[in-house]
Structure 1
């Protein structure tokens, strides 16, 4: 029996500034790419040397906004740039497969914004190509690298929870339907599951590992993509995950791990740096943790610095969220979409 700890462990990598430096190129100069670049500039020593878009002016405007030296009107031109070591792919999910393949073929390391691909089949192909090409490829699942999840990793490794019985995770918010918007467009890999539902699902998978049973239900937007989904996922041991995501209502953005000896409750939103509380099973002991130095999407600095460390160490996959993990999560997303009835354009 593991005793309740006297203090919480420290994150494995508390400072993203201590990572080796990569020279980054950006594919897709949109909102999330802007947050990524700003986080790197504020909290790391990473260098952003180039940006590319299908529209030269859009790339040039982005470069001007962030002081990036080079901009390109084609993705191929950026991948031919010798000043780029690694590429951050921040385009819609429909583009991830082709652009990651391009990066691997060009010998560029790739950090691919979540969800990794549209489907598990695409993820499997990318995994095999990346391994054959000996190129580092990683899903930009920021929750695997933020400080409080590093703390949770240590608690799990130390057996502090005892036997984990369940994980509960929610992420929802109201987004009115807009025809053609990327979240609602089946041609762009739209749907709530791939957009934000991947966060609670990934959190549950991180804690419990492989699931043997998935029971999902949800609703569809007018365009045919999923706009809400809930699921109970069960492991071989009988541990369960309850995950919920929606664009139809405002829900808590919280997660908890519930074990025989202790539980963890996150603050909001759990997918960004937020407080957490470790509470003993009898409710008499409690430890609180909080680190708000990297609020909101400033936490994107952690995934970039983690990747830089892995590349410097000669790795070709993340040791905490490798390509097998990304494939497993995409497989779960496929099954949840199937049960809900959601289809992409080429699946109809």
Structure 2
């Protein structure tokens, strides 16, 4: 990893972070990636897994050598050998699962988005604060070493006054994917769009004005949306996200002194450049990677924060997560996209997550 003429990442080695005992709530695809990453790169311990299907929990536990498997979320939340619960249920279950863990006195790391809307995110934040436990959204991009370098560049004013942020994220999905299920808050906004929206709001804050356009999908979810935003001071942002096909997933931050171009996919480990008007460039190089190479950073950062007595993550505060969801809420309002009433946690059943 090199940063010629640029700040160096200040992210410590993940393996050096204090060890926590983690409980996985919802053994799906992202839980597999998370477990693989932290078992390979950290000293964190996956102590238990919980699902509404005991058979599924047992299969996950066997695959990853996890000592305890539970057939309900309630049992996992109550488990005495779990310090923190990683909530990775479908989006519609994030809020209820996080509340269950918080009420049991557990710290929580909730997969993005932390809630279906800003109200759910705010409720999680309030409950965690009242309980004195740690809570954060697993927006893993902001925990990566490259983003620590970007944060230092922005803080130092290297780009000058930020005028424009442009970011996009599109993917292709099999028709059977949950992203096409309206009952699971499908569509690209929460799965993909949350990344460009999080970047925009991280750099520019909350927009003063927002205009959104959308395209429906035959399944009943939103297929594509674009939004233009204007901020105090005149800065603008443009985002696009869709489920039609893969895109470069690139991002650009334009300033009065220089432009920062993040190689796609911008939300994963990889390189970026600062380009100056005179043609000179500064480049941060690091190996491109995916979830296996990157998810361990957020787990290690959470463990360090909890060991230090913090109840939030400086890399992704709950206020920042709420701000991003406020923008998503306004986009949905303009497009008429309505998510289902969040489901409550059900008793143990043999069904899918």
Where on the TM-score scale, by shorter chain, does this alignment land: which range? over 0.9
User: For structure 1, which runs of at least 5 residues remain unmatched after alignment?
Assistant: none
RMSD of aligned Cα (Å): 1.6
Q: Structure 2 CA distance, aligned partners of 1:102 and 1:296?
A: 27
Q: Structure 2 CA distance, aligned partners of 1:131 and 1:14?
A: 27
- Give the SS at the match of 1:198: helix
| 1:273-284 equivalences in 2 (<5 Å) | 273-283=269-279
Assess if the C-alpha contact under 8 Å between 2:271 and 2:288 holds in 1: no
Offset at 1:123?
Answer: 1.3
Offset at 1:6?
Answer: 6.6
Instruction: Tell me the residue number matched to 2:8.
Output: 10
Q: Taking CA–CA contacts closer than 8 Å with sequence separation of 6 or more, which of the two structures ends up with the larger relative contact order?
A: 2
Instruction: Tell me the residue number matched to 1:198.
Output: 194
| 1:161-176 equivalences in 2 (<5 Å) | 161-175=159-173
Establish whether residue 330 from structure 1 lines up as the match of residue 325 from structure 2: yes
Counterpart selection for 2:45 from 44, 47, 51? 47
- Give the SS at the match of 2:137: strand
Counterpart selection for 1:238 from 234, 239, 256? 234
Q: Structure 2 CA distance, aligned partners of 1:20 and 1:277?
A: 33
Q: Structure 1 CA distance, aligned partners of 2:334 and 2:159?
A: 32
Establish whether residue 183 from structure 1 lines up as the match of residue 179 from structure 2: yes
Q: Matched residue pairs, number?
A: 340
Instruction: Tell me the residue number matched to 2:207.
Output: 211
292-301 or 66-75, larger mean C-alpha shift = 292-301
Instruction: Tell me the residue number matched to 1:23.
Output: 21
Counterpart selection for 1:155 from 153, 156, 160? 153
Counterpart selection for 2:125 from 124, 127, 131? 127
Counterpart selection for 1:320 from 312, 315, 319? 315
Instruction: Tell me the residue number matched to 1:304.
Output: 299
Q: Structure 1 CA distance, aligned partners of 2:4 and 2:94?
A: 45
- Give the SS at the match of 2:312: coil
User: For structure 2, which runs of at least 5 residues remain unmatched after alignment?
Assistant: 343-353
Offset at 1:337?
Answer: 1.3
Q: Structure 2 CA distance, aligned partners of 1:296 and 1:71?
A: 24
Give the structure-1-normalised TM-score. Answer: 0.94
Relative to structure 1, the CA distance from residue 155 to residue 94 in structure 2 (aligned partners, 3 Å threshold; closer, same or farther) is same
